[in-house]
Every structure is written in C-alpha cells, then in structure tokens.
Structure 1
C-alpha cells in the first residue's frame, strides 16, 4: 500500500468512526427524548376527556 493510500484509508476510517459516533449520539438523543416525552393519551383517556366535554357542555346548557 502506498503512503497516499494509507493516508486515505486512515482518513476514511476516522470519518467512518466520526460518522458512527455521531449516529450513536443521535440515536441516544432520540431515545432520551422518547423517554422523557409526555405519553400519548390512550383510548380510555380520550374517552374520558370526550365524556367530560360532553357532560360539561350539557351541564352548562341545562343551568342556563
């Protein structure tokens, strides 16, 4: 292998290592974001909110 080829191989290894490290850091950041993100409301929670809105609306109309 020529010195130029060795330098090119070393540079490509270094850039591949940086790329791999960057990808791992981004993956870790996404995992942390998912871990601390508020949970999406499940079907029972959505139903409860809907019933509260409907019930609250009916109560307000019947009092007025």
Structure 2
C-alpha cells in the first residue's frame, strides 16, 4: 500500500512542469547544473522526463574532432 502511494506521488510529480531556474536549483540535477544552463531555455518549462531526455541526448552525442 505504501509503495503504491509512493509510486502515484512520483508519477504526479513527473507531470509537473518546471522553469530552467527551478531545475538548475534542484537537488536532482545538482551535478549537472552547467549542462542544464546550456541546454534549457529561460522562457520554456519542462517536465523531468523532458529534461532527462535532453541530458541523455547531449551526453550520448557524438564528439566533433
């Protein structure tokens, strides 16, 4: 029962949208603040899933020589 409520709460949070400033200041992304500042727009809002996808694409990208 407790696990079910915790999962529901996590799913609700995943649907919220956050500003770049909120995401950069969050504990979840504290180790990637510089990358977020470069990737995210100041005028858009993002879900955690969107941010995770952008980070994944950036970090797995091809290095130019």
Pairwise same-fold verdict (TM > 0.5): no
TM norm structure 1: 0.30
TM norm structure 2: 0.30
Larger Rg: 1
Name the structure, 1 or 2, with higher relative contact order (CA <8 Å, separation 6+): 2
Structure with more helix by fraction? 1
